């Protein structure tokens, strides 16, 4: 989309006119990064707050799950294949990056299909794909499992840390100290799930939800649509990102997800266990479940001392409120996952800081 | 001749001589190299001497838009150009892994010869070493270049003044993305090609504006953001950049959005960041755009007194944010 300065300015003008206290949550990490990059937060009046939500898959992965992954990765005969973001996430004692430097065979891929190819090339090794992500990435992993079954691959499995978004939002909305007036909902996730899950949320919690795209103009439109609903005392689920999202989502992607995975309990950093928020393999695909294949027990979540990623992920605080932010915890030496992931709220606030207040006009 | 490089090719004996004669001397030939002395002996024209060295360890060795050979000439030539020098002579040191394909070595030597010929720079001395398999990754190249700077030219951050213009000489981020795409097997609807190019003509075209061209730097590793931060710190002035003015191709922008990268931090191998005074800005832009590889040159910002030592970006919303230095490793071994 080309930038249209006049239109953007008009939209922004409408938004900053709002004088009521309002807190909107951008659920998705990609939104957090795009908002930080656009500098939008610096232009909003203090009564309008944009809070980051639990929509960065790396950030919400529980500490115990990261520890279990690292423990599996260092076993002999294993090739662990992962998206790059997971490499630097600190576990309790180590990270995948450190495990690799000590000899573990861990490879970075851009698609789960790469892991299938690695499994075919290394029949004498066990290839484990670290499945991480929401409804957006899970269908590709489901397709992989399906292909592995068709190919009869016996040395391929997936460590599924996949999660689905709506149950986490429901938990946030039911928190007693919740002060969120509306949700900027992730466009990519809705490409798959559509609008229906948000309609249910709106019905139950009476907070507007707008499925929004990722360009600056999309975000301004999404924020404006939310403010307009709140001003008028309405609460509906709407789509701003109509050029990509259909209200029914993508039925083919929903079907393959349904075929391969079933809902399971999943632990979220900062939130804890959420029923039906994870994706586990159905029994027919059980042979691809790395947890079963390698007998992986659930691990305790050992909190990182001083790290407030959990509060950041639930919109209770912003990254600068964390005592470690920018001091002990930086992208070079991250302490919590929100500083590691390129979608993490802390990384976004650190990478795209506003000019210091004294310099502001 | 064997089809792969053997340890014996680095022994200094007959096979070494054969390798040098067949692969390098025939195509790099010039009076200084052909003299085959222990060191090349040249007479330089009057002026200051500029000297720059760079080592190239890129993987993959062949990539869309170039190869390690072309890159090794462009990298050093562009460093000399950034000093305001006319590039003249080059030394080449090669470290080759045992088992490297001779046909690939010839391709690399050819592409070095072609690029050197385009620039008019002469390879006057060289060295070849072969190391055991596993001790290097294919081939590493070092080049050192000498050029001459005329007395009127003084490109340093000290010359930068408040009100100067910041110019990017073309689309940024192409090299970094091309290498990433090639390495990881990523495919885009429009192929991404490295911008690897020797910018000697750009250098020549700016020599006509002594005093007005304040400073020049090539934004390789760390990209444009890193160069601007260095210039801001060294000049103790502020660099104010307008995001919408920065030339970025749509494929690089789209891919960076998808991969969570920022084109401002991606490497370039055929671009310059040029700081020029306001007096002759229109003439300078006109000249620049005529130079090869610079058609998309654009003014991307101005120099300000405050905030000293920092780079500020104005976003399309009109908000300002800080553009910091690169944290950690963006992509290893890109040059």
- Please give the tally of structural domains in chain A: 1
B247: pLDDT strictly greater than 80: yes
Q: What is the pLDDT of residues B45-90, one digit of tens each?
A: 999 999 999 999 999 999 999 999 999 999 999 999 999 999 999 9
> Is residue A245 in some structural domain?
no
Residue among B232, B239, B254, B317 with most chain A CBs within 10 A, to mutate: B317
Mean predicted confidence (pLDDT) in B310-331: 85
Give a yes or no: residue A335 inside a domain.
yes
CATH tag for B7-149 (out of 1.10.3470.10, 3.30.1330.10, 3.40.50.920, 3.40.50.300): 3.30.1330.10
pLDDT confidence of residue A358: 40
Best-predicted range by mean pLDDT (A168-182, B8-22, B39-53): B39-53
Give the pLDDT band of residue B332 (cuts 50, 70, 90). Answer: low
pLDDT score of A359: 39
CB contact under 8 A, A355 and B327: no
- Beta strands (DSSP E) in A122-201 are 126-131, 156-160, 182-186
| pLDDT at position A2 | 45
At residue A43, the pLDDT reads 92
d(CA A285, CA B11): 58
CA atoms within 13 A on the CB side of A51: 23
**Lowest-pLDDT choice from A120-124, A291-295, A351-355:** A351-355
Please report which helix (H) or strand (E) contains residue B80, including its range: helix B68-82
Beta bridge partners of B21: none
pLDDT at A77 over 60: yes
| Domain boundaries B157-322, corresponding CATH code | 3.90.650.10
pLDDT at A73 over 50: yes
Query: Does residue A122 lie within any of the structural domains?
Result: no
* Residue B224 CA to its chain's centroid (Å): 13
B49: left (phi over 0), alpha (psi -120 to 50) or beta: beta
With CB atoms and an 8 Å threshold, state whether A38 touches B317. yes
Is pLDDT at A75 greater than 80 in this prediction?
yes
Q: Which residues of B144-183 are buried (b: 16+ CB within 10 A; e: fewer)?
A: bbbbbbeeebbbebebbeeebbbbbbbbbbbbbbbbbbbb
In a domain, A88, yes or no: no
DSSP H helices, B169-222, are 174-184, 200-206
Across the range B42-47, mean pLDDT stands at 94
Share of chain A above pLDDT 70, in %: 98
Confidence of residue B279 (pLDDT cuts 50, 70, 90): very high
Bridge pairing between strands A156-160 and A126-131: parallel
Q: Is the pLDDT of residue A230 over 60?
A: yes
Model-level pTM?
A: 0.83
Q: Is there a contact between A354 and B322 if contact means CB atoms under 8 Å apart?
A: yes
- Position A132 scores a pLDDT of 93
**pLDDT confidence of residue B49:** 97
Residues B105-157: pLDDT tens digits? Answer: 999 999 999 999 999 999 999 999 999 999 999 999 999 999 999 998 999 99
Average pLDDT over residues A186-201: 94
| Concatenated DSSP letters of B236-297 | T-EEEEEGGGS---HHHHHHHHHHT--GGGS--SS--EEEE-STTHHHHHHHHHHSTT-TT-
Tell me what pLDDT residue A360 has: 36
Q: Is A276 left (phi over 0), alpha (psi -120 to 50) or beta?
A: left
Residues of A with CB under 8 A from a CB of B: 3, 5, 8-9, 12, 33, 36-40, 42-43, 85, 110, 114, 214, 216, 220, 330-332, 342-343, 351-356, 359-360
pLDDT at B329 over 70: no
Q: CA B217, CA B139: separation in Å to the nearest integer?
A: 27
Put simply, the answer to whether A110 touches B322 (Cβ < 8 Å) is no
Domains in chain B: boundaries: 7-149, 157-322
Give phi and psi for A275, each to the nearest 5: -60, 145
A3 pLDDT tier (thresholds 50, 70, 90): low
- Give the model confidence (pLDDT) of A304-325 as tens digits: 888 999 889 888 899 999 999 9
Are A39 and B244 in contact (CB < 8 Å)? no
What would the two tokens of residue B192 be?
A: 């991404």
- Judge whether residue A185 has pLDDT over 90: yes
SS3 B153: coil
Compare A180 and B186 and report the one with higher pLDDT. Answer: A180
Number of continuous H segments (helices) and E segments (strands) in chain A: 16, 11
| Contact between chains at B315 and A9 (C-beta distance less than 8 A) | no
Cβ atoms of residues A314 and A270 within 8 Å:
yes
Look up residue A35 and give its two tokens.
């908002």
Could you tell me which of B220, B190, B199, B234 has the C-alpha nearest to residue B77?
Answer: B199
Counting residues of chain B whose pLDDT is more than 90, the rounded percentage is 81
* Residue spans of alpha helices (H) in A153-238: 165-173, 187-193, 196-205, 216-231
Q: pLDDT value at position A157?
A: 97
What is the domain range of residue A334?
Answer: 309-351
Exposure of A321 by Cβ count < 10 A (0-12 exposed, 13-18 middle, 19+ buried)? Answer: exposed
Asked whether residue A157 is domain-assigned, the answer is no
Shortest CA gap A296–chain B (Å): 31
Distance CA A87, CA A89 (A): 6
Closest CA to B121 of B91, B164, B160, B161: B91
- Round the average pLDDT of chain B to a whole number and report it: 93
| Residue B89: strand pairing partners | B122, B146
pLDDT value at residue B40: 95
Mutate to test the interface with A, among B225, B241, B250, B260 (most CBs of A within 10 A): B260
Interface-testing mutation among A37, A50, A112, A339, with chain B (most B C-beta atoms within 10 A) = A37
| pLDDT for the residue A1 | 47
Q: Is A321 helix (H, G, I), strand (E, B) or coil?
A: helix
Task: Give the chain B residue whose CA is nearest to the CA of A29.
Answer: B260
pLDDT band at A361 (very low <50, low <70, confident <90, very high): very low
Q: Which two tokens stand for residue B28?
A: 């790099």
For residue A354, give the chain B residue with the closest CA.
B321
pLDDT bracket for residue A277 (50, 70, 90): very high
List the B320-322 sheet strands across, edge first.
B213-217, B273-276, B165-168, B298-304, B238-242, B311-314, B320-322
Task: State residue B1's pLDDT score.
Answer: 47
Residue A339 falls inside a structural domain: yes
Is 70 exceeded by the pLDDT of residue A356? no
Quote the pLDDT of residue B234.
97
Cβ atoms of A338 and A345 closer than 8 Å: yes
Distances (CA, A) of A59 to A267, A337, A340: 12, 5, 8
In a domain, A346, yes or no: yes
Structure tokens at A300: 């305790």
């Amino acid at each position: 989309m080309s930038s249209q300065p006049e239109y953007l300015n008009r939209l922004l003008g409408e938004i900053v006119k709002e004088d009521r206290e309002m807190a909107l949550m951008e659920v998705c990490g990609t939104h957090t990064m795009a908002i930080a990059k656009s500098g939008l937060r610096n232009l909003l009046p203090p009564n309008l707050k944009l809070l980051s939500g639990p929509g960065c898959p790396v950030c919400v992965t529980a500490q115990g799950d990261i520890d279990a992954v690292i423990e599996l990765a260092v076993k002999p005969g294993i090739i662990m294949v992962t998206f790059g973001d997971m490499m630097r996430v600190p576990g309790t004692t180590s990270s995948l990056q450190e495990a690799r430097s000590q000899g573990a065979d861990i490879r970075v891929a851009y698609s789960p299909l790469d892991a299938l190819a690695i499994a075919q090339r290394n029949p004498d090794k066990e290839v484990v794909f670290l499945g991480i992500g929401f409804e957006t990435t899970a269908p590709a992993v489901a397709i992989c499992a399906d292909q592995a079954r068709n190919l009869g691959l016996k040395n391929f499995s997936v460590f599924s840390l996949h999660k689905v978004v709506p149950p986490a939002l429901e938990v946030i909305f039911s928190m007693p100290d919740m002060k969120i007036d509306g949700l900027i909902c992730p466009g990519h996730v809705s490409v798959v799930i559509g609008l229906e899950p948000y309609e249910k949320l709106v019905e139950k919690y009476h907070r507007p939800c707008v499925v929004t795209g990722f360009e600056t103009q999309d975000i301004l439109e999404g924020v404006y649509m939310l403010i307009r609903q709140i001003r008028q005392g309405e609460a509906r689920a709407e789509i701003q990102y109509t050029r990509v999202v259909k209200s029914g989502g993508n039925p083919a992607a929903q079907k393959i997800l349904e075929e391969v995975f079933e809902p399971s309990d999943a632990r979220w950093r900062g939130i804890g266990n959420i029923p039906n928020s994870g994706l586990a393999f159905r029994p027919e695909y059980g042979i691809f479940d790395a947890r079963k294949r390698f007998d992986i027990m659930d691990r305790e979540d050992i909190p990182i001392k001083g790290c407030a990623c959990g509060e950041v992920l639930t919109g209770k605080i912003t990254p600068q409120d964390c005592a470690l932010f920018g001091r002990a915890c930086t992208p070079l030496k991250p302490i919590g996952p929100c500083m590691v992931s390129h979608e993490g709220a802390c990384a976004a606030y650190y990478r795209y800081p506003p000019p210091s207040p004294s310099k502001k006009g | 001749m064997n089809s792969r490089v053997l340890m014996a090719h680095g022994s200094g004996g007959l096979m070494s001589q054969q390798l040098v004669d067949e692969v390098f001397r025939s195509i790099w030939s010039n009076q200084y190299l052909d003299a085959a002395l222990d060191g090349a002996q040249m007479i330089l024209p009057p002026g200051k001497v500029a000297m720059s060295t760079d080592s190239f360890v890129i993987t993959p060795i062949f990539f869309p838009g170039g190869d390690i050979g072309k890159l090794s000439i462009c990298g050093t030539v562009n460093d000399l150009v950034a000093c305001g020098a006319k590039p003249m002579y080059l030394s080449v040191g090669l470290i080759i892994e045992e088992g490297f394909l001779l046909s690939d070595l010839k391709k690399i030597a050819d592409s070095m010869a072609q690029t050197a010929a385009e620039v008019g720079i002469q390879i006057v001395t060289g060295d070849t070493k072969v190391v055991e398999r596993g001790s290097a990754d294919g081939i590493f190249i070092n080049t050192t270049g000498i050029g001459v700077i005329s007395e009127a030219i003084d490109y340093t951050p000290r010359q930068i003044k408040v009100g100067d213009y910041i110019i990017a000489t073309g689309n940024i981020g192409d090299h970094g993305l091309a290498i990433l795409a090639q390495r990881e097997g990523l495919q885009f609807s429009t192929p991404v090609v490295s911008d690897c190019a020797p910018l000697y003509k750009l250098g020549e075209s700016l020599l006509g504006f002594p005093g007005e061209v304040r400073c020049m730097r090539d934004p390789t590793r760390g990209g444009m953001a890193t160069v601007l931060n260095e210039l801001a710190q060294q000049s103790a002035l502020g660099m104010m950049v307008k995001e919408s003015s920065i030339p970025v191709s749509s494929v690089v922008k789209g891919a960076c959005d998808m991969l969570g990268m920022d084109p401002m931090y991606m490497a370039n191998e055929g671009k310059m960041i040029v700081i020029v005074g306001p007096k002759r800005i229109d003439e300078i832009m006109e000249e620049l755009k005529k130079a090869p590889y610079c058609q998309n040159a654009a003014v991307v910002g101005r120099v300000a007194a405050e905030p000293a030592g920092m780079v500020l970006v104005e976003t399309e919303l009109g908000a300002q944010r800080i553009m910091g230095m690169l944290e950690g490793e963006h992509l290893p071994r890109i040059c």
